[in-house]
Amino acid sequence: MTPTDIPPFVDILADFELLEDWEDRYRYVIELGRKLEPLPDKLRTAETKVQGCVSQVWLSTTIHPNGIPRLTFVGDSDAHIVRGLIAILFAIYSGKTANEILDIDAVSILGELHLNEHLTPQRSNGLMAMVTRIRSDAETARTGAG
């Protein structure tokens, strides 16, 4: 639904497991961020800005209401590593229904990458702020469809 080159999460996880060195994993996350489509300037607004992130992060959600609403996302950050984290979140969430998004245990899934052990507490908090925004948008979509 969102034309990107971001691989599915299962592929990201497999690639992560192949990379033993955390420096290589960081480079991989940054490379994932480079695959994000550019965020149009008109979407860099106070409404799309994610609060709770140290870096500037914008996240815009599109709800596709055909029957069961599906959500797709575009986003950006001024930090390369955060752009990569956004790409990982899009691999997990984008194109899924509101109910599917709300059923995802982000802490568990992201835990498979062991990111919390290697991100600063501020980055981890920002990552969870992005998850909270995505879940909130999914709840809004589900409520609107109900």
Of 24, 2, 25, 4, nearest to 112 (Cα)?
Answer: 25
Rounded Cα distance between 24 and 13, Å, is: 14
Rounded Cα distance between 44 and 136, Å, is: 19
**Start-to-end C-alpha separation, the chain:** 23
Rounded Cα distance between 96 and 66, Å, is: 13
53 catalytic per annotation: yes
Question: One of 29, 53, 81, 92 is an active-site residue; which one?
Answer: 53
CB neighbours of residue 109 within 10 Å:
17
Name 37's Cβ contacts closer than 8 Å, sequence gap at least 6. Answer: 2, 3, 4, 74
What are the catalytic residues? 53
